[in-house]
């Protein structure tokens, strides 16, 4: 039971909005010591795990070129392209991105997306551009809402698309785990049972996007009239 202290610290830290790096470090050290490691052993275990998971930080290598292109007007261009499409609204842009992201992930092309590569420089400016085009200058809160939705679309479409591809990490993990326990399943069997949830994810989230479209129209159209 004592080993659960780390979870308690994380929850309290996040609720009190203490710097998450500090919270996570304290939680890790407390968990290690509660499970009987010496303090230096805990620091070593931390270092080892930090070093072996460096691959999650490779994505920052995109920043030099993305920054360079942003300096040259990439976001402004993305906005302008969408401004040329009269049918485009922010939620419709997101709906199209959802479909593309989910289908390509289901084909194993999970790298066709990502927050640093696609969402910040391209998709978010396109969605904002579509809304600007429709309603003129946007209140900052609406910009934030649209951006948060863009990030959410990237995540949800990825998560509930990728498991349909038979060679993705999670399918391999499931298969390996079941094999160890003497149960043999084919990857295709696992992938097929990911399809019902994938369809539901599309229906649920796209319905929410359409409702967002209505909500924005109700909110912003009113404002335009007042002016």
Partner 1 sequence: MITLEHIYWLSGLMMAGVAIVNWRDRSNPRRLNNTAFWGIYAITFLAGSYLPDLANGSLVIAMVLVASIRGLGQGKQESATREEREASARRWGNKLFVPALAIPLITVLGTLLFKKIIINGMPVVDVTQVTVISLGIATLVALATGMIMLRPPLLAPIREARRLLDAVGWAAVLPQMLAALGALFAIAGVGNVVSGLAQRWIPLDNPFVVVTTYALGMAVFTMIMGNAFAAFPVMTAGIGLPLIVQKFGGDPAVMAAIGMLSGYCGTLMTPMAANFNIVPTALLELPDENAVIKVQIPTALMLLGTNILLMNFLVFRR
For partner 1, the binding residues in 196-215 under the rule CB under 8 A are 196-197, 200-201, 204-205, 208
Which CB sits closer to partner 1, 72 or 87? 72
Interface region with partner 1, contact rule CB under 8 A, candidates 45-53, 83-91, 129-137, 216-224: 45-53
Site residues (CB under 8 A) for partner 1, limited to 76-95:
76-78, 80-81
| Dist CA 158 CA 154 (whole Å) | 6
The answer to whether the CB of 164 falls within 8 A of the CB of 191 is: yes
Q: Which of residues 120-159 bind partner 1 (CB under 8 A)?
A: 120-122, 124, 144-145, 147-152, 154-156, 159
Smaller CB distance to partner 1: residue 103 or 112?
Answer: 112
HEC per residue, 105-171: HHCCCCCCCCHHHHHHHHHHHHHHHHHHHHHCCCCHHHHHHHHHHHHHHHHHHHHHHHCCCCCCHHH
Return the SS3 of 6.
helix
C-beta of 88 vs 119, nearer to partner 1: 119
Among the residue ranges 82-90, 129-137, 186-194, 214-222, the one whose residues contact partner 1 (CB under 8 A): 186-194
- From 83-91, 131-139, 183-191, 215-223, give the range in contact with partner 1 by CB under 8 A: 183-191
Residue selected from 40, 87, 218, 227 as contacting partner 1 according to rule CB under 8 A: 40
Q: At what angle do helices 124-135 and 90-106 cross, to 10 degrees?
A: 160
Q: How far apart are CA 211 and CA 129, in angstroms?
A: 19
Identity of the residue, 28 or 134, whose beta carbon is nearer to partner 1 in the bound complex: 28
> In the structure encoding, which two tokens stand for residue 129, read together?
């551009």
8 binds partner 1 (CB under 8 A): no
In angstroms, the CA 154 to CA 105 distance is 11
Among 136, 185, 215, 224, binds partner 1 (CB under 8 A): 185
């Amino acid at each position: 039971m004592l080993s659960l202290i780390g979870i308690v610290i994380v929850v309290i830290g996040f609720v009190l909005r203490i710097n998450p790096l500090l919270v996570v470090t304290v939680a890790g050290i407390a968990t290690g010591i509660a499970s009987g490691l010496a303090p230096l052993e805990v620091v070593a275990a931390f270092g080892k795990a930090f070093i072996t998971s460096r691959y999650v930080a490779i994505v920052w290598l995109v920043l030099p070129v993305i920054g360079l292109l942003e300096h040259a007007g990439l976001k402004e261009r993305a906005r302008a392209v969408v401004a040329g499409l009269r049918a485009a609204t922010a939620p419709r842009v997101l709906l199209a991105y959802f479909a593309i992201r989910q289908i390509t992930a289901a084909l194993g092309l999970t790298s066709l997306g990502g927050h640093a590569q696609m969402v910040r420089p391209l998709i978010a400016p396109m969605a904002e551009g579509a809304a600007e085009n429709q309603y003129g200058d946007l209140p900052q809160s609406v910009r934030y809402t649209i951006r948060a939705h863009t990030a959410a679309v990237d995540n949800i479409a990825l998560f509930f698309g990728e498991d349909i591809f038979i060679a993705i990490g999670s399918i391999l993990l499931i298969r390996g785990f079941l094999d160890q326990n003497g149960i043999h399943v084919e990857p295709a069997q696992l992938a097929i049972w990911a399809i019902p949830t994938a369809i539901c994810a599309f229906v649920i989230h796209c319905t929410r996007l359409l409702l967002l479209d209505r909500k924005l129209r109700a909110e912003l159209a009113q404002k335009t009239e007042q002016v």
